Amino acid sequence: MRALPILALTFGLALPASADVETALDRHILPAFAAFADRADALAQTAALDCRPEAVRPAYQAAFDAWMPVADLRLGPSETGALSVAFWPDPRGATQRTLARFIAEEDPVALNPQDYAEVSIAARGLFALEMLLYDAAFADYAPGSYTCDLVTTIAADLGHQAAALDRAWQTDFAQTLRSAGDAGNATYLSPDEALRALYTQILSSVEFTTDRRLGQPMGSFDRPRPTLAEARRSRRSLRNVVLAAEAAHDLAAALADWDLPETDAALGRVRLAAERIEDPAFQDVAAPQGRLRAEVLQQAVADLRQTIEVEIGAEYGIEPGFNALDGD
Amino acid sequence: MLRTSLTTAMVVALMANAAQAQTAADVLETYADIAEAKYADSLRTAEALKDAVTALTETPSAATMTAARQAWLEARVPYQQTEVFRFGNPIVDDWEGQVNAWPLDEGLIDYVDSTYGGPTDANQLAALNVIANPTFTLSGTEIDATEITPDLLREALHEADGIEANVATGYHSIEFLLWGQDLNGHGDGAGDRPWSDYAEGDACTNGNCDRRAAYLNVATDLLVSDLDWITAQWAEGGAARTALMADEKAGLSAILTGMGSLSYGETAGERMRLGLMLNDPEEEHSCFADNTHNDHYYNGIGIQSVYLGQYVRVDGTMVSGPSLSNLVAANDPGLDMEMRTRLSAAVLALGRIKTAAEAGFAYDEMLRRGNEGGEALIMGGVEGLIAQTRSIERVVAALDLGGIKIEGSDSLDNPSAVFQ
């Protein structure tokens, strides 16, 4: 398997590069969007029947799980669409502030899932729902209250978003990636560009996990910031790290049609380091032992990036393009 | 299958062709000359701002307040064109935070409206108000701020507690002291700080006018000295110029990294699309002065200027020389044409935002929920910047620069800073 791309390189011939992009789409990306759309729809229906936190939480967790395999993609429909599904990090507390304002003013926008697409992304998607379902300041609402309607609306809006993302990926954008290099494809002028675009997504996802999902709550040794952990209220912080690492690995494996022993081993070390974390919401990073375990996990994720660069990037001779984390 | 031998041959040919027209070293030299000129212009306009601030604080009046605001607006024009030197040049990156940090929790500096709120989960110092408080406790340490000094602002307050929203120095702190909070939300109007906030004796409004004036003077002095320093780094023999010229490939890569990171992650993503999607009137780069349309526009102009190797100085003269555009065109005229077309298209789209804003449709109004015209304008700019980023990536690939260095160290070194 492995000799094939090298041979192609030697002769200076392009393989049908879309073969790898096709696999990434068919094996990872498209099934994941379909599954997320299903879960988000189930969440919307659950919330419509019973808006109370204890009733909605299991469906919420399932939808978030389904989101993670594609959570870090920032191309095509996800370039703009991902942020309104999952707005995080939120350094200025916009989610809390915006939801509190809606509730205080009983903004009628909460009664209409269609109009809700217009509101601030801080009040939409998984993290807005998390605030209402898990934060003590919000989660004591009664059936029939404004907050209850708001939960139902946000869940319905999320269902619409998931369906729209699924549709846009399955139809238009998958075709854009598949037809890279064809005359008439103005997005990707060669198969290589589609491959590089997906490769960039993998590396930036891993970078996001080390720098933000882990780096943010870890803060500095003197000033750890456990309250900045992603999805700490729903206690998903660790789970998201592992699911994101698995997604990066799977997408990498799909993109390469050869074995990735180092990358497989690196994912194994991520899982092992994750098992040793005691608090799934990273609230123990302030204690020396907790911080040490988080550092080990962070290093394991960073190693995953390295192995992907070696086993895929170097193998293809590609370098990542710009990603959304460039800048500061 | 990506870097085929064809690409390698192309690069060899490109270097050969380029040698006839201009060398990579020539291109780097033009870039460094433009950097030096842009920073020198930023310095010159900041010195004019300093004179205006001195006049305001010595003889406070509506006229001196207006003149100081005008000087600030003028100073932003060359400075925003320098942002393209960030990301690729570590010397600029390490320095930039003290000059143009944003967004800020302005309650750290001075009085704010009651709707601002107090300390937040993320920032215990968000409402510190150093102008009103000559002594205070900061992370357990008693701070003596009876005299407002450069050290107090730079060492004690700026990024205090490791929080980047604690912005004590730079353009946006000065902007806040000249305009004050914009309390109009999505409605018409910018900040409207009365000139009497700097008046003496009984005429003083909102208290502590002497301390406010001292703060404004110190912050402006620091801006001038910071710009003086960075200008020297780009002069002949300066550290930034020397670092750039040390390795031709790395130097070209630095140019393109700055262009791409400013286009994509920073301006299109962080400053424009995110603000739009949050519908927050404070999610604009110059939220006190309502000058955001110019911030984005001059970012676009700056990106275009380094590719074309042309910069119009504030005195109207042009700095120009062999450019990246020439280098790309020497081997792949089609790609050069694509790059130039996309840069022009982005400047045009950003220019539409500026045009509408100057006709009275302010940037914070464009951000309002459900404002379709505003959304279309801002997304036009975002899409233009994203499209030009794709072409920048093609230029990187065509020049075979060994990929783009991903800018990630900032967040590793200082995780609380990731959403500056």
Per-residue HEC secondary structure of chain B comes to: CCCCHHHHHHHHHHHHHHHHHCCHHHHHHHHHHHHHHHHHHHHHHHHHHHHHHHHHHHCCCHHHHHHHHHHHHHHHHHHHHHHHHCCCCHHHHHHHHHHHCCCCCHHHCCCCCHHHCCCCCCCCCCCCCCCCCCEEEECCEEEECCCCCHHHHHHHHCCHHHCCCCCCCCHHHHHHHHHCCCCCCCCCCCCCCCHHHHCCHHHCCCCCHHHHHHHHHHHHHHHHHHHHHHHHHHCCCCHHHHHHHCCHHHHHHHHHHHHHHHHHHHHHHHHHHHHHHHCCCCCCCCCCCCCHHHHHHHHHHHHHHHHHCEEECCCCCEEECCCHHHHHHHHCHHHHHHHHHHHHHHHHHHHHHHHHHHCCCCHHHHCCCCCHHHHHHHHHHHHHHHHHHHHHHHHHHHHCCCCCCCCCHHHHHCHHHCCC
| pLDDT tens by residue, A30-86 | 999 999 999 999 999 999 999 999 999 999 999 999 999 999 999 999 999 999 999
Contact B1 A324 (CB under 8 A): no
Chain A interface, mutation test: which of B339, B406, B409, most A Cβ atoms within 10 Å? B406
pLDDT band (50, 70, 90) for residue B321: very high
Residues of chain B with Cβ-Cβ distance to A326 below 8 Å are 87, 260-261, 264-266, 406-407
Q: What does the pLDDT look like over A142-188, one tens digit per residue?
A: 999 999 999 999 999 999 999 999 999 999 999 999 999 999 999 99
Asked if A61 reaches chain B (Cβ–Cβ under 8 Å), the answer is no
Give pLDDT, residue A5. Answer: 33
Nearest CB partner across the interface for B265, out of A220, A317, A327: A327
| Contacts of residue A135, Cβ cutoff 8 Å, sequence gap at least 6 | A96, A233
Q: Which residues pair with A123 in a beta bridge?
A: none
Residue whose C-alpha is closest to residue B266's, from B173, B386, B397: B386
Residue B108 has pLDDT above 90, yes or no: yes
The average pLDDT across A300-316 equals 94
With CB atoms and an 8 Å threshold, state whether B266 touches A328. yes
Which pLDDT does position B161 carry in this prediction?
A: 85
Selecting from A9, A195, A215 the residue whose C-beta is nearest the C-beta of B411 gives A215
- Contact of A128 with A154, CB cutoff 8 Å: yes
A216 at B interface, C-beta within 8 A = yes
- State yes or no: pLDDT of B264 exceeds 70: yes
The fraction of chain B above a pLDDT of 70, given in percent, is: 90
For residues A225 and B164, give the distance between their C-alpha atoms in angstroms, rounded to a whole number: 14
pLDDT band at A322 (very low <50, low <70, confident <90, very high): confident
Phi and psi, residue B19, nearest 5°: -60, -30
Which residues of chain B have a CB within 8 Å of the CB of A83?
273-274, 277
- Give me the pLDDT at residue B21, please: 54
* Mean pLDDT within B71-80: 98
Q: What is the mean pLDDT of chain B?
A: 89
Residue A2 reports pLDDT greater than 60: no
The pLDDT of residue B405 is above 60? no
List the single residue in A with minimal CA-CA distance to B116: A97
Tell me, yes or no, if A112 comes closer than 8 A to chain B by beta carbon. Answer: no
Chain B positions touching A323 (Cβ under 8 A) are 264-265, 406
Which chain B residues contact residue A118 at CB under 8 A? 369-370
Q: Tell me which residue of A100, A61, A94, A56 sits closest to A235, measured CA to CA.
A: A61
Residue B252 predicted with pLDDT over 90: yes
Asked if B418 is an interface residue toward chain A (Cβ–Cβ < 8 A), one would say yes
Q: Is the pLDDT of residue B5 over 50?
A: no
Task: Kindly list the residues from chain B whose CB atom is less than 8 angstroms away from the CB atom of residue A219.
Answer: 162, 415-416
Which of B121, B269, B414 is closest, CB to CB, to A327?
B269
Helices then strands, each counted (H, E), chain A: 15, 0
Average pLDDT over residues B53-65: 98
Per-window interface: A 77-96 vs B, CB < 8 A: 79-80, 83-84, 87, 89, 91-94
Position B413 pLDDT exceeds 60: no
Percent of chain B with pLDDT over 90: 76
pLDDT band at B124 (very low <50, low <70, confident <90, very high): confident
How many residue pairs from chains A and B have C-beta atoms closer than 8 A? 165
| A93 to B120: CB separation less than 8 angstroms, yes or no | yes
Q: Is B410 on the interface with A (CB under 8 A)?
A: yes
Q: What is the pLDDT of residue B402?
A: 57
Residue A225 forms contact with B (CB below 8 Å): yes
* Chain A partners within 8 Å of B260 (Cβ): 321-322, 326
Q: Tell me if chain B has a CB within 8 Å of the CB of A12.
A: yes
Tokens of B405: 């260095």
Asked if A275 has any chain B CB less than 8 Å from its own CB, the reply is: no
**Structure token pair of residue B361:** 């449709």
Q: CA–CA separation, A81 vs A75, rounded Å?
A: 9
Do residue A196 and residue B393 have CB atoms under 8 angstroms apart? yes
Q: Does B372 touch chain A (CB under 8 A)?
A: no
Q: In the 8-state DSSP scheme, what is residue A26?
A: I
Contact A211 B411 (CB under 8 A): yes
> Per-residue pLDDT averaged across B293-319, rounded?
98
Is the CB of residue A318 less than 8 Å away from at least one CB of chain B?
Answer: yes
Q: Is A123 on the interface with B (CB under 8 A)?
A: no
Residue B196, chain A, CB below 8 Å: the answer is: no
A204 vs B contacts (CB less than 8 Å): 406
Q: Do B403 and A320 touch (CB under 8 A)?
A: yes
With CA atoms as reference, the chain A residue closest to B96 would be: A328
Q: Which residue of A has its CA nearest to B267?
A: A327
CA distance B331 to B18: 8
